[in-house]
Amino acid sequence: MPKLSVIIPTHKRADILAQCLAHLEKQTIANEIEAIVINDVQDDKFETLSGKSNWQIPIYFETIPPCQQAVARNRAVAKAQSSTVLFIGDDIFLKPDTCKYHASIHENVGTPIAVLGSTMWDPHIEITKVMEWLMRSGWQFGYPQIERYQGDYLPKSIQHQFTYTSNLSLSKEVAARIPFREDVSLYGWEDTEWGMRLRGAGVRVYYEPNAKAFHHHVMTMEDSLRRMEAIGESAVFIKKIAPDFDRLPHGWKRIAYEVFAKFPTMAGKHRAAFLKGIAKAKLDTNP
């Protein structure tokens, strides 16, 4: 029985997925892990990859009809053989001892928790100016906000903002009992909404920065602004299904957001894109 089942949804990125799996094969506890890969599109490269027979770790491959990542993650959890699952992406490359950190923390804690590892840009790719800013400012991953909680539990009031499925583990029982919502079709905030339900069930988030992951994904300014617009649109939807969702600015925060969105800075441009997505969502939902 493996100590850890690594959950990987994938979509038409077989080349990067192969590198992701190669990093799993190099884990210090490679003989105690498995990978569950759920693909949602018919793809020759994926078929070739899944047909490979000389993997150094057990890997379960499955192709399902086109879907969002929530469906793929839930399907993978059901297939997992371990009592602990680790969620990553197909463009996430784990440092060799990352799985060891996740597994050992769960072994030594009696109550259900989620373990958050750190995620940073892969140093082997071009780090654009906007990528540097996204990491430094916390607009992509908010790790600068939680540095003081290294090796400790995040405050309950903010933990749902950091249930990043790029590098997060928890018990299979909890992941099966509190699945990802499969009616969320827009990109962004689905992990935050899931984190809100984890918090409501009493699951604490423990931050272990030594469990490192590298995000192998180049992002341009245009890519980042499109992402912000998409998550602005998604935020409106999430607020409707989860009234306690707290990522939509309102009141004086909304006024300040609109003022600073006019500034020609990185932050200003991203605020403007986020507001554009919110406006688009409200326009689409109003008759």
Q: Which residues contact 246 (CB under 8 A, 6 or more apart)?
A: none
Domain's final residue, options 192, 215, 238: 215
pTM confidence score: 0.96
Same domain, 230 and 209: no
How distant, in Å, are the alpha carbons of 18, 139, 144, 159 from that of 268? 37, 12, 19, 26
Same domain, 202 and 226: no
Domain's final residue, options 187, 215, 243: 215
Same domain, 155 and 252: no
Mapped onto helix, strand or coil, the DSSP state of residue 103 is helix
Same domain, 48 and 141: yes
Same domain, 165 and 241: no
Query: How far is residue 92's CA from residue 167's CA, in Å, rounded to a whole number?
Result: 8
Same domain, 272 and 184: no
Task: With CA atoms as reference, report the closest residue to 211 among 113, 82, 85, 94.
Answer: 94
Same domain, 185 and 207: yes
For 278, the token pair is 């919110």
Per-position pLDDT tens, the chain of length 287 = 999 999 999 999 999 999 999 999 999 999 999 999 999 998 899 999 999 999 999 999 999 999 989 999 999 999 999 999 999 999 999 999 999 999 999 999 878 999 999 999 999 999 999 999 999 999 988 999 999 999 999 999 999 999 999 999 999 999 999 999 999 877 889 999 999 999 999 999 999 999 999 999 999 999 999 999 999 999 999 999 999 998 899 899 999 999 999 999 999 999 999 999 999 998 765 54
* Rg value, the chain, Cα: 19
Domain's final residue, options 184, 215, 246: 215
DSSP 12-28: S-HHHHHHHHHHHHT-T
How distant, in Å, are the alpha carbons of 5, 44, 53, 231 from that of 2? 7, 29, 19, 36
Answer for the pair 231, 187: CB distance below 8 angstroms, yes or no: yes
Q: What is the CATH number of the domain that holds 26?
A: 3.90.550.10
Same domain, 131 and 245: no
Task: With CA atoms as reference, report the closest residue to 34 among 46, 21, 45.
Answer: 21
Same domain, 48 and 185: yes
Query: How far is residue 10's CA from residue 91's CA, in Å, rounded to a whole number?
Result: 9
Number of domains present in the structure of the chain: 2
Residue 243: φ, ψ to 5°: -55, -25
Residues of the domain holding 253: 221-285
First vs last Cα of the chain: how many Å apart?
54
Same domain, 203 and 245: no
Same domain, 199 and 261: no
For 190, the token pair is 């689905």
Answer for the pair 228, 176: CB distance below 8 angstroms, yes or no: no
pLDDT value at residue 282: 82
Same domain, 149 and 229: no
